[in-house]
Structure formats: structure tokens, C-alpha cells
Structure 1
Amino acid sequence: MKKLLTILTGLSVTITPATQIVSCKITVDNTYRNPSDIQKFWNHKMFSTISVDPKTIDILSFENDLKALISNNFKNQNEVNEILGLNLPWKSDDQSTRDGEKIIFEYYSSQSGQASTKINDLSDYLTSNLNEKNPATTIYFKYKIGEEALNGSALKLNVTTSPKMAKGVFSGVELSKETLRVSPIYSNDLKIRIGSNKSVDRDFLEKNSDVTIQLLKGILNTIKMETGTTLLNDLQWVKNQNPHSQNEIPYLWKLITPEEQMYKLLMNESNESLVNFVNKVVIENGTSNDLNSFLGLSNDIRFQLG
């Protein structure tokens, strides 16, 4: 017994604090190399939703959006854009038509992907399954490129009637209140930047875009609470603002939030509606309808902090 105690006292247990444990993050190589990678990396970026208007479904536009979702999952996006024949804004019509024949999609109502669940007319199917009571649905797709056979598994794709940010996006939306109060938490940081200034101009809003966008987020959230209207993030092919972190890639796919897109569109307009709104609502603590025309709201509606 004494010998056993001697052995035990010679043993020690070292406990490593949790703060000293270094996690090993495995980097996934999401470079596109062959058609099977589309299935392998589908939803790698966790965004697989397309927005449609059930009244005017354009299948060419729908499939272009689907190609963008696919390309977004990969590192070599420009190459994938070309392989898929993705219609980017600067391509000619002839090139878009020619390239668009490279990938073919088939759609299904069930993940089984069986022939009995194949959707023969996608436009009619979506029109029948999307309405005010059912603003979203799920379909599945298979694909083939060139002479390749269809891929093995049907891939999940979400389709919604939630619109993306655009001028007049809330046209036809009815509001029961004449004054919409935006929570001050969305304007606090902007107020700090403004300081003792009596007014702001376009240059100020450009230099302080982050806090200006925060205010726009508050406006959209206020409208959402009153109407239930949710806007969808927009996947856009944009200039890379930090090329050194992305292997000098000049352009890339990026999810743009509704408030970011709203800011971009407003700053591209020649009028001073956003400047006027900030001066009246944030600095003067008054009300404003300066953004109503852009949003598609009645001029009777006014925004105020509170």
C-alpha cells in the first residue's frame, strides 16, 4: 500500500487553461475545378434564395440569379461566371445568348429529384405557389454542363416574393399611421459624428456612410414593423474594396443589404433628398417626407425620431 501511494504521489496532472487552447481551423479550398463542385459547394456561403415577382416571372433572369448564387460559392468567381455563361451587365446580347447555353437546369418539387416531381413549367409553378398567404416556397434543381449527365442530387433552392431594394419598392403598400417613428438607436452614432454642426451636406454623408446606412436601416425596420414587408439582401457583382485580402481580385460577388443599396441609390441621385432628411429629422428633431418619393410612399407619411 505504501509503495502504491509513493507511485501515485509521483504522478501529476497538468490542466491547460481554456484561453491557452489554440483551435485549428481547417481552410476549405472552394476553387471550382469541375461540374461536380457545384453540388459539393452548393450553399457554401449560406445564401440560396431568389426573389421573384409572381406576376412577371422572367425565367432567363431567374436562371441568371441562380448562376450568381452558384458562382458566389467559389474562390475563382470570374472563371465560374464565364463557365456558367452568367449575364453580367457589360456583356453583349450575342455573348450572353451564346454563353447561356453552357449550363442547363431542371427543377423539381421534391428533393427526391424523381421524374414524377419534375417541374415542366417553372413560371406557372411559381405563379401558382406564391401569393400573399404563401410568400415563399422551396424547389430543387439539378444541372448539367455541356455533354455531362445531370448531377446526382437535387439541390435546395428558396424562392421568395420578398423584394430587393429598388426605387419605389414600397409602392402600393398601405400604412395606417401618418407618422412613423424611427428608434433613436439608429441615429445616435450619426448624431455623435454631426456634433455641433447645424447642417450636413452630401460630402459629410459620403465620409460617414457607415452611420448614415445605420439610419437607413432604422427607417426600413420601422416600415417592416408597420407593414410586415421584408426586403431581401441583393447579391451583386461589385468592385473589390480590399483586393489585397482577396488575391488581387478586382471584382467579386457580395451580399448587399437593403440599407446599403438604399444608400447607394440615394447618393447616385442628383437631388438632395437624403441630405434634407438628415437635416430635418436628425439635426432639427423635426419630421420629413423627403425620402417618400424614392421609397414609393405617400407624401402624407412623415418620419420622425422617437
Structure 2
Amino acid sequence: MPTFARPEVPYLAQWESAHLVGDILTGQLAARDDPRWARSGAASPHDYEFWARRLCGVACLRMVLAGCGTDVPTAMTLANDLLAVGGYERDGDRVIGLKYAPFAEYVNGRQWPFRATVAAPLTNADLLDHLRDGHLAMVSVNPAIRDLAPDGLPIQVERGGHLVLATQATDDHITFHNPSGWPDRSQRNAVVRWESFDAYYAGRGILLHLIETGAISDGRGLERARPRAGAASSGRGLGRARPRTGAASDGRGLGRARLWGGWCGFRRACCVWGGGLSAGSTVSRHRTVSGFAPDSVVASGAVPG
């Protein structure tokens, strides 16, 4: 697929060996035989095999943390944390989740340089605006989106069931990291036309807002965002960024942060697809998904990826 992306958002698969994801998906390699399984923090290869296929949301979160220069917990550390707060529910061999509201509450309770809000419904146009402002989003798509050719025709599938990390968008295309994409094809910076994306997209997701401020170096060449002076308290000892004058409301009483210096301390990269965005978006606002209460919105862990 043609690509453009912010280089500061690294790619991480939901399996530890990203280059082996294709073999795992096709059954040529059992996930328990992934030579890097122990890096996940799983107790055993079989524990790793059970969880890795269900951790698309955790993989998205780990990519964001890595991009911010924040310490990145193991996949199973995050999975166990989310189990404890209701982000996942396990009943034997069945796992329900990722549940959006507990996930967002968990993220917002940590001293990380971004905030999460549940967006259900989330229209294409609102997602475009959010990405154009320099933020990121975890969005629910069918895992079969990994098979979509750059300008290919979508197939008829049920929308949703898998989370990808959306990083950029133009009027014509959306770019995302896919935790269960095909190596060298649809993992990093997959670019899909909006009309094709729409066939897989469930119209819901989790918006990730950078806390807008000055930044401090983490000593690794990346910068960690720090709340501005005068930021409102989140009640957890970490300031929540106040929107600048004129910032758009997100409909929940919290302004949508607009970046001054770019995502996590970097100046926002310009899209190189056809010269970037026009002032008047042509992305459709027509389709929304209704009937999803925030507490019930999940990305199913029942399908591989």
C-alpha cells in the first residue's frame, strides 16, 4: 500500500514477532511457537497463544506509548490491568472486550501524556477532523481489512471486531497501523480510501487526545508532553489540557485539544498525499452507528486480530 506517516509513531503487532504474523494467521506457525513469546510477559507459550490474538487494543495503546517516549509495559501487564478494571472479562476460554469505557477510564487514570474519550458513534468526518488536528484514534474495523489492496474493492463483511490505530487522513484516504496486518503489506501505515474503509468500519472508536503543552525530553530523542500551567485538574494529580480559545467542543464538556507543536512534542508532519487537506472536507458524514451505550461498546476479542 502507498504510505505516509509520522515516523514517531512506531509499529507494534499484537504478536511479539511482527514478521511472523502472516505465518500465524495462515496457520503455518502456532502462536505458542513464536520465538519472542516471553517478551509479552505471558506466563507460558500457551497463555501467550490464548491472549495475543485478542490484544489488538493493547497493541494500539503500546504504539501510542512508544511514540510518546513513555515506558511501554508488556502486553500482558496491560491486559492484566485491564482485566482488573473491567476492560476485559474472561469466562473460561471466552473473552469479552475490549470494553471502551473501562479502557478510557484506565488510560485517563495514568500519568500518560494523552487522554482517551469513547466516541460512539464516530462519523468519518469527525474522525477526519480529529486526525487532522494531529491526534490519534483507535477505531473498530473488520479484521479482513488487512486483505484490502490499495485501490481494491472491499468485500461484504460484518463491520467491526478489531481495533487499528488511525494516525492520519486526507479528504481521500485514511492511514493506520494494523496490529494484525500482513507483513510488508498492511501492517505499517496502511492507506485506504474512505469509501473502502467505510465497508469495514463500525463507526465507533476511542479518540486519543494529546495533552497540549510544552514538552520535556525523555533522553531518547523523543519528547514527553507535560500539562501546561493553568491546566485543569483531572482529579488524579495530572492536569487536563484546557482547549485554546476557539477549540471545538467534543460534546462531553471537554474541548478538543489543538496541537501547538505537534504530536508528543513533534511538529505535525504534513501529509504528502496530493498536497494535504483542503479547507472544505468532502468526507461523508452520512453514516453513523446508533444504539451503543459507552459501557457496552466493545471490540470483540472473539475473532483472530
TM-score (norm 1): 0.22
Query: Which one has a bigger Cα radius of gyration?
Result: 1
Higher normalized helix content (fraction of residues):
1
Q: TM-score, normalised by structure 2?
A: 0.22
